[in-house]
Amino acid sequence: MKLTTYSTDQAGLQAFYEAIIRAHDTYGPVEKFGKFDFKKVNSLSECDPESPIPRTMSVKPLFFPKSAKVMKYTATSAGTELSDTAEDPLAGKRVILGVKHCDARGLQVLDAVYKWDYIDTDYEKRRENTILISPRCDQAATHCFCTSLDYDLETLDAVDVAVINGADRKIYLQARTEKGETFLKENATGLTSANGSAEAEMKKQYETFAASFRLKMNYQEINERMQGQFDSPTFEEVPSSCVSCNTCAFVCPTCHCFKISDEKIRDKGVRYKSYDSCNNVYFTLMAGGHNPRPVKYRRWRQRAMHKFVYYKERFGVNLCIGCGKCTTSCPVNISIFEVVTKVASSMQE
Amino acid sequence: MDYTKQIQDIAGRLFSEGKIDIFIGYRNTGFDENQVPVLIHQYKDVDQLLFTDKSVFNLANYLKYEHTRNKRVGLIVKGCDSRALNLMLTESQVKRENLYIIGIACEGVVNETGEKAQNCVECMMPDAVVYDELLGSATGKREYQVNADIRELDEKTLTDRVEYFEEIFENCIRCNACRHSCPLCYCAKCCIDQETATLFHGANTTSSAFHALMTWSLHLAGRCVDCRNCEKACPIHLPLHLLHKLNEKVIYENFQEHLAGMTEGDRGAFYKYSLSDPDDFIL
Amino acid sequence: MEAEIKEKIVSMEKPHMEAPPDWQPVIMGILCNWCSYAGSDLTGTSRIQYPPNIRIIRVPCSSRVDPWFIIKSLQTIADGVLISGCHPGDCHYISGNYYARRRFLVTKKLLNFVGFHENRVQFSWVSAAEGAKFAKVVTKVTEDIRKLGPLHLYKKENS
């Protein structure tokens, strides 16, 4: 496969970003309260596309917002009238700068569930209209373990345009998808064509990156062992310090559970779709009062098994992408890596 | 401030004498300098325990969960934690006879950047107020200082404050980590959990974040002990202490210098009154 | 006849938001059953006029008022809230309004701190015999809120 590649230097890259921000609806990682979150930007100085991992939030909220309007309704004497909400503010053509590969990979994993039996048109539209531009990681953060999971990060096509740091301060911009190729060709003003020359640099960068990982697991083995671990007593021990908040699911790039709620004043109301989390006590509470997962370890078991076993069984990809956001944001730093490896290694003979 | 050795000894002694079922302490994360809470069930795990100035989390929080209820528990409390524990005892959430409390005469913990945390600089009661055993030497109650951030915000104009707080409520993702890491938020059904809310709705919008955080902070007014578990738990790092410190300031200045949880039996500022309370704001 | 020049009313908290020309403030009145509600009744039976902008809710005691009611009112339809109860010492339940007074002070200060003008939430003591005072209080609160303009903070959306 021949990939369109351009080369430039640091100043050229800045100019490239600035041109994009001027011409397109652009989002980028913006610092808020000391943490990075993806927000709309009007100039390059507002955001830092190179900002390091771990960031608090992934790009997920730009595709699956924390709260989105589903429909509106009005109660009249004749009955209830339903109507569509106004146009989706996130569905237009847009570019997201500074996306990390784990974020982009998360979207790829989410596609499987969103394009399954029911196609979520909002999500579909947002995905189609978005160009993801991603600087490659040089250095793994404390809780990262993305290289250990069952995909080849080296040849990953989750982003549209990859930004690769080469030798002699050279920077390569490489289109990784068709969408990205069209976009890059349209915006190539000031860039030098350098087809075929980035591969070696990319490999080198990937090697240093892969060597910086502290956490490594044998995914195939973990996945196989976990399948028989539903009744493992280790699940009762390991997450005992969990405080049952929803943080892990809300910051996770691949968690996709949601709840439906109404906001109503007088006779008019809006129906919202908002994030939900399986670590929440009420997540499985049924009408009538039965709750199949009333205790913490059962909820944690669901979370770990869904991330490492069930999703893979159903869609063929692992739901956890190893970005470590949940561990970083957790109030008590429970590491999903630690839980999963402990459970897998506790298999009884 | 390093009581690792003493705490390991005490916990070991308690386990071997069969006095406790669970010991709640801190351990190293195993990959960085930070510490995480750990619940220990056996004598053999005692050597994981640690206590330094990085032991930040308020362990009284774990007394509200099902797996510590009605068990005999040993735990470590710093000054602020012990005040929260005092309130839990007063509010009948835990039984005193089930607890073995190791109090610390705290010298202050550090924040993410390694400096002394703001609440420790402004701390009024660094020593544990309820304990079976006290480690370190008590220094007593200190003078009240108005929080530096509150003072700064008070000087701003109304419209500036509106902008500042709108950003906070807009960024909230309603994960409820603040409510879940608060030892005094022990309600089995909380009014800010969307699923059980009766008076407001569950969407994660700015207005519902405002409603939840305001209601939550008013429920904690006169009870909050400024341990800042909520703020440390917040994934977005919102300055949640502002709401609590403002309540604390108003209560301290107007209601006979009331501070939450200083003595057992004190239920909080809103559970008592004085005839001389300020009346001038009422028409 | 001279043309009446009306000053444009803007929201106090958000000066860029302008009130529609026919805007009228909406005030949520939460009154205690034993004094203030009877007081408002007396205002009516004595035929004293007061602005019709207030929407009254009756509660058993001013201490029944959860700060939640205030927040909820401000987030839905109200531009301001008036809470009224018995004078100190006159509470039907002996000490209810003393407890309420503490809560009101903290609620008022906290709301003011996060950006609500202090006149958005007001409190009064009105006894069952003070029909004239009730009319005066409602007039004052309505005028205060009218000056502050419509409230645009953290409103719940229903459209």
Mean residue pLDDT of chain C comes to 90
Residues B125 and B13 in one domain: yes
Orientation of helix C96-113 relative to helix B241-254, angle to 10°: 130
Q: Is residue B282 part of a domain?
A: no
Dist CA B51 CA A307 (whole Å):
34
Task: Please tell me the predicted confidence (pLDDT) of residue B216.
Answer: 92
Residue range(s) defining the domain that contains residue C111: 27-50+58-148
Task: Please tell me the predicted confidence (pLDDT) of residue B283.
Answer: 84
Residues B163 and B89 in one domain: no
Contact A268 C159 (CB under 8 A): yes
Task: Please tell me the predicted confidence (pLDDT) of residue A233.
Answer: 84
B161 contacts on C by Cβ (under 8 Å):
113-115
Helix residue ranges per DSSP H, B91-157: 118-121, 148-155
pLDDT (mean) for B154-176: 90
* C-alpha neighbours within 13 Å on the C-beta side of residue A97: 29
- Cα–Cα distances (Å) from B251 to B141, B197, B268, C84, in that order, read 18, 28, 10, 22
Contact B179, B192 (CB under 8 A): yes
Question: Strand C80-85 vs strand C27-32: parallel, antiparallel, or unpaired?
Answer: parallel
The predicted-structure confidence for A291-341, as pLDDT tens digits, reads as follows 999 888 889 999 999 999 999 998 888 899 888 899 988 988 888 998 888
Task: Please tell me the predicted confidence (pLDDT) of residue B202.
Answer: 73
Q: Is residue B279 part of a domain?
A: no
Tell me what ipTM this predicted complex has. 0.90
Cis omega (within 30 of 0) on the bond before B235?
Answer: no
Structure tokens belonging to residue A236: 């009762």
C156 contacts on A by Cβ (under 8 Å):
263, 265
User: Taking CA atoms, what residue in A is nearest to B228?
Assistant: A331
Task: Please tell me the predicted confidence (pLDDT) of residue A168.
Answer: 76
Using alpha carbons, select from B67, A279, B146, B278 the residue that is nearest to residue C123. B278
Spacing of C-alpha A338 from chain mean position: 21
Question: Which of A72, A265, A270 is the closest to C76 by Cβ?
Answer: A265
Residues B46 and B123 in one domain: yes
Task: Please tell me the predicted confidence (pLDDT) of residue C4.
Answer: 58
Show which of B135, B158, B183 is a domain's final residue.
B135
> Shortest Cα distance from B255 to chain A (angstroms)?
33
Task: Please tell me the predicted confidence (pLDDT) of residue B62.
Answer: 92
Percent of chain A at pLDDT > 70 equals 97
Mean residue pLDDT of chain B comes to 89
Show which of B82, B110, B135 is a domain's final residue.
B135
- Higher-confidence residue of A55 and A320: namely A320
Residues B256 and B226 in one domain: yes
Dist CA C7 CA A51 (whole Å):
49
Dist CA C121 CA B281 (whole Å):
10
Largest CA distance in chain B: 65
Q: Is residue C156 part of a domain?
A: no
Across B117-265, where does the E strand assignment appear? 133-135
Number of CB pairs, chain A paired with chain B, less than 8 A apart = 124
Task: Answer whether residue C3 shows pLDDT above 70.
Answer: no
Residues A247 and A183 in one domain: no
Task: Please tell me the predicted confidence (pLDDT) of residue A37.
Answer: 85
Residues B85 and B155 in one domain: no
Q: Is A220 exposed, middle or buried (0-12, 13-18, 19+ CB in 10 A)?
A: exposed
A143 contacts on B by Cβ (under 8 Å):
31
The predicted-structure confidence for C91-145, as pLDDT tens digits, reads as follows 999 999 999 999 999 999 999 999 999 999 999 999 999 999 999 999 999 999 9
Cα Rg of chain A (Å, integer): 22
A33, A35, A40, A41 alpha-carbon torsion, rounded to 10°: 90
- Higher-confidence residue of C128 and A164: namely C128
Q: Indicate if the alpha-carbon torsion angle B237, B54, A252, A103 is positive or negative.
A: positive
The predicted-structure confidence for B55-107, as pLDDT tens digits, reads as follows 899 999 999 888 888 889 999 999 999 999 999 999 999 999 999 999 999 98
Contact B177 A246 (CB under 8 A): yes
User: Taking CA atoms, what residue in A is nearest to C73?
Assistant: A265
> Shortest Cα distance from B57 to chain A (angstroms)?
8
Task: Please tell me the predicted confidence (pLDDT) of residue B249.
Answer: 93
List chains adjacent to chain C, taking adjacency as at least 3 C-beta pairs closer than 8 Å: A, B
* Helix, strand or coil, per DSSP, at residue B163: helix
Residues A111 and A158 in one domain: yes
Q: Is residue A79 part of a domain?
A: no
Show which of B81, B101, B135 is a domain's final residue.
B135
The predicted-structure confidence for C34-93, as pLDDT tens digits, reads as follows 999 999 999 999 999 999 999 999 999 999 999 989 998 999 889 999 999 999 989 999
Q: Is residue B142 part of a domain?
A: no
Q: State the pLDDT confidence band at A346, using cuts at 50, 70 and 90.
A: confident
Across A148-232, where does the E strand assignment appear? 161-165, 171-175, 192-193
- Give the number of other CB atoms < 10 A from CB of residue C25: 23
Q: Is residue C154 part of a domain?
A: no
Question: Which of B67, B167, B173 is the closest to A66 by Cβ?
Answer: B173
Residues A169 and A22 in one domain: yes
Residues 6+ apart with CB under 8 A from B48: B25, B27, B28, B38, B40
Contact A89, A139 (CB under 8 A): no
Contact A295 B34 (CB under 8 A): no
Residue range(s) defining the domain that contains residue B64: 4-135
pLDDT (mean) for B162-167: 92
The predicted-structure confidence for A275-287, as pLDDT tens digits, reads as follows 888 988 888 888 8
Residues B184 and B122 in one domain: no
A71 contacts on C by Cβ (under 8 Å):
none
Residue appearing with tokens 């090697």: A207
Question: Which of B158, B242, B270 is the closest to C99 by Cβ?
Answer: B270
Across chain B, where does the E strand assignment appear? 22-28, 35-40, 73-77, 99-104, 133-135
- Cα–Cα distances (Å) from A46 to A42, A43, A51, A269, C71, in that order, read 7, 6, 12, 36, 34
Q: Which residues pair with A83 in a beta bridge?
A: A72
- Give this prediction's pTM: 0.91
Q: Is residue B140 part of a domain?
A: no
Show which of A211, A227, A251 is a domain's final residue.
A211
pLDDT (mean) for B106-114: 87
Residues 6+ apart with CB under 8 A from A250: A66, A275, A277, B173, B175, B235
Contact A264 C158 (CB under 8 A): yes
Dist CA B225 CA B248 (whole Å):
9
Residues 6+ apart with CB under 8 A from C4: none
Lateral strand order in the sheet of A67-76: A79-84, A67-76, A268-275, A258-265
The predicted-structure confidence for B13-66, as pLDDT tens digits, reads as follows 999 999 999 999 999 887 777 888 999 998 998 998 989 888 899 999 999 888
Task: Please tell me the predicted confidence (pLDDT) of residue C79.
Answer: 92
Using alpha carbons, select from A56, A112, A87 the residue that is nearest to residue A252. A56
Q: State the pLDDT confidence band at A116, using cuts at 50, 70 and 90.
A: confident
DSSP for residue A47: B
> Dihedrals φ, ψ of B102, to 5°?
-95, 105
Q: Is residue B13 part of a domain?
A: yes
pLDDT (mean) for A254-267: 86
Residues A167 and A288 in one domain: no
Dist CA A347 CA B53 (whole Å):
37
Q: Is residue A280 part of a domain?
A: yes
Contact B237 A243 (CB under 8 A): no
Q: Is C53 exposed, middle or buried (0-12, 13-18, 19+ CB in 10 A)?
A: buried
Number of domains forming the structure of chain A: 2
Contact A162, A191 (CB under 8 A): no
Q: Is residue B33 part of a domain?
A: yes
Q: State the pLDDT confidence band at C13, using cuts at 50, 70 and 90.
A: confident
Phi/psi-derived region of residue B22, left when phi > 0, alpha when psi is between -120 and 50, beta in every other case:
beta
Residues A146 and A280 in one domain: no
Residues A147 and A186 in one domain: yes
Helix residue ranges per DSSP H, B187-228: 206-219
Dist CA C92 CA C65 (whole Å):
15
A277 contacts on B by Cβ (under 8 Å):
175
Residues A207 and A223 in one domain: no
Residue range(s) defining the domain that contains residue A312: 219-260+276-345
Residues A174 and A321 in one domain: no
Residues A149 and A228 in one domain: no
DSSP for residue A55: P
C157 contacts on A by Cβ (under 8 Å):
263, 270
Question: Strand A192-193 vs strand A5-8: parallel, antiparallel, or unpaired?
Answer: antiparallel
Residues A114 and A170 in one domain: yes
DSSP for residue B70: T
Residues A180 and A254 in one domain: no
Dist CA A310 CA A230 (whole Å):
11
Instruction: Tell me the residue type at C39.
Output: G
pLDDT (mean) for C10-32: 88
Spacing of C-alpha B92 from chain mean position: 17
Q: Is residue C70 part of a domain?
A: yes
Task: Answer whether residue C1 shows pLDDT above 50.
Answer: no
Q: Is B281 on the interface with C (CB under 8 A)?
A: yes
Residues B119 and B234 in one domain: no
Number of domains forming the structure of chain B: 2
The predicted-structure confidence for B229-253, as pLDDT tens digits, reads as follows 999 899 988 999 999 999 999 999 9
Residues 6+ apart with CB under 8 A from A9: A169, A170, A171
Q: State the pLDDT confidence band at B201, using cuts at 50, 70 and 90.
A: low
C159 contacts on A by Cβ (under 8 Å):
72, 268, 270
Residues B124 and B18 in one domain: yes
